[in-house]
Amino acid sequence: DFDAKEKRKVAKIYQALSCEPIDVAALRRMAISEGGLLTDEIRRQVWPQLLSVNTDDLPPLPGKELREDSKDYQQVLLDVRRSVRRFPPGMPDDQREGLQEELIDIILHVLKRNPQLHYYQGYHDIVVTFLLVVGDRLATALVEKLSTHHLRDFMDPTMDNTKHILNYLMPIIDQVNPEVHDFMQSAEVGTIFALSWLITWFGHVLSDFRHVVRLYDFFLACHPLMPIYFAAVIVLYRKQEVLDCECDMASVHHLLSQIPQDLPYETLISRAGDLFVQFPPSELAREAAQRQAERTAASTFKDFELASAQQRPDTVLRQRFRERLRGEERTKSILTKPRTNRFVKLAAMGLTVALGAVALAVVRSPLEWAPKFELQIFP
């Protein structure tokens, strides 16, 4: 029965890929729904569509001269040399070392072509995931698009915008479980425990590569802030462990920074999607901005949300969730009651609300996407 369901999904994915133009909205729904994109062979075809990358016009492979001119080369070299565990166990040393050389070249190539971007430790954890799935040439194009959109705020000269994005974590937790929120506030644990989760899309902290690529399917199909929603549902999933912990910064930080490897990923992905719809970034932005007023690529996505609300699927979806859940018991039910129609809702979200920022290139709506509007989303 499971095999039959999987085969039907594969057929739907290839049907979407064969459409003219390609049905990107359907591909987003497939990436969000249970199991994600299923195989690396499918990911090699779908990930470029989710990022609006033209696979017929890929950049040439970078040359070794990049290493001589790059101010980041030494730091990248150190980080890549420490990345042995990110490669499949049992891979021959010479093969792994060859991939590490390709990893260095991809990173330096993206940085050279985009001098406004600044390397950060952990960036290589994202790049290596793309390298292992799609190969060096396609990975270079995908990583460059991702770096100038979803990851852009992590690649500023300072960590100010990254800290701002982390500021969304506690408001999400507060909406769902005020008790956990207040406990964490009393412990003064902050949000730094989730930093490596966020800036590596969990690639650095999860040991099973299957779980990493499943999350990448989800994040590539969604809003740039979806990783912080996923971080929130991990904390909420562990709520009893948190509340049973000593209420001090060191104890709570130690507990939360040790991420379990046996998480129910599909359940948590579903919950993160539900929370995004019920408590969208535009409703959390005021509280998140109390400590930091600068605008980021993620926070300015609300402009795109408002515009996309004129499309019918999003209008229906937003009317359904306009009245936010009140009371602790009702908010707790988000994380406990099965939601048989959640993928229907996420399917509509795949067309509008959960479109990643780069979806501007693939959305076909009745709106006029003026250049100045794009600049508002990507200043």
The mean per-residue pLDDT over the stretch 192-221 comes to: 96
Q: Which long-range contacts (CB under 8 A, 24 or more apart) does 257-262 make?
A: 257/193, 259/197, 259/202, 259/205, 259/206, 259/234, 261/206, 261/207, 261/208
pLDDT above 80: residue 218: yes
pLDDT above 70: residue 309: no
Tens of pLDDT, residues 335-344? 544 443 444 4
The mean per-residue pLDDT over the stretch 356-366 comes to: 31
pLDDT value of residue 341: 44
With tokens 């003026």, the residue in question is 370
The mean per-residue pLDDT over the stretch 245-269 comes to: 95
Name the range with the highest mean pLDDT among 95-109, 290-304, 311-325. 95-109
Burial of 205 (0-12, 13-18, 19+ CB in 10 A): middle
Tens of pLDDT, residues 28-73? 999 999 999 999 999 999 999 999 999 988 877 767 777 877 899 9
* pTM attached to this predicted model: 0.77
* pLDDT-wise least confident of 21-30, 112-121, 283-292: 283-292
The mean per-residue pLDDT over the stretch 227-237 comes to: 97
pLDDT value of residue 348: 41
Classify domain 159-295 at the CATH topology level: Cyclin A; domain 1 (1.10.472)
Nearest to 289 by CA among 170, 375, 180, 198: 170
The mean per-residue pLDDT over the stretch 83-101 comes to: 93
CA distances for 241 relative to 175, 317, 330, angstroms: 19, 34, 21
pLDDT above 50: residue 262: yes
pLDDT value of residue 359: 34
The per-residue DSSP string of 67-97 comes to HHH-TTHHHHHHHHHT-GGGSPTT--HHHHH
CA 142 to chain centre: 14
Amino acid at 108: L
pLDDT value of residue 68: 76
Domain boundaries, the chain: 1-51, 64-143, 159-295
Nearest to 195 by CA among 121, 265, 267: 121
pLDDT value of residue 94: 95
Residue range 64-143 in CATH 1.10.8.1310: yes
CB 282 within 8 A of CB 305: yes
Greater model confidence, 335 or 138: 138
pLDDT value of residue 65: 75
Alpha-carbon distance 51 to 189, whole Å? 35
pLDDT value of residue 284: 86
**Preceding amide of 115 cis, omega within 30:** no
pLDDT above 70: residue 353: no
Q: How sure is the predictor about 314, in pLDDT bands with cuts at 50, 70 and 90?
A: very low
Q: If you average pLDDT over every residue of the chain, what do you get? A: 80
Q: How sure is the predictor about 324, in pLDDT bands with cuts at 50, 70 and 90?
A: very low
The mean per-residue pLDDT over the stretch 302-327 comes to: 40
